[in-house]
Amino acid sequence: MDLIALRAYIAQYHPQAAARIASEIVATAELLALNPALGTALPKPGYRRLVIGGTVYILIYRSRGEDLEILEVFDARRRRPRTRI
């Protein structure tokens, strides 16, 4: 995950909190890599979502064997996910 790009995106909306939120998103993604079933199952098989604690950001992801694919990170207050689930 590109931490610099993530911080830049978040800074558009939350400049003071961008570094903290980006680090929290990356830490959550690393946790998901070890525990992919933490998120809530979505209607599309294999797809899951997880609200990142202490933020308004949501990860949409899927587990493919031993790999975890982050499909989208979005601010739940601003829009719905682009991923068709």
User: Residue 16 pLDDT more than 60?
Assistant: yes
Q: What is the pLDDT of residues 19-53, one digit of tens each?
A: 788 888 888 988 998 999 999 999 998 899 999 98
65, part of any domain: yes
Domain that holds residue 34: 3-75
Task: Read off the pLDDT of each residue in 60-83 and give the average, rounded to a whole number.
Answer: 81
| pTM of model > 0.85 | no
What phi and psi values does residue 5 have, to the nearest 5 degrees? -65, -40
- In this prediction, what percent of the chain has a pLDDT beyond 90? 24
- Confidence band of 84 (pLDDT split at 50, 70, 90): low
As for how many domains the chain has, the answer is 1
Domain of residue 10, CATH code: 3.30.2310.20
64, part of any domain: yes
* DSSP string across 5-32: HHHHHHHTT-GGGHHHHHHHHHHHHHHH
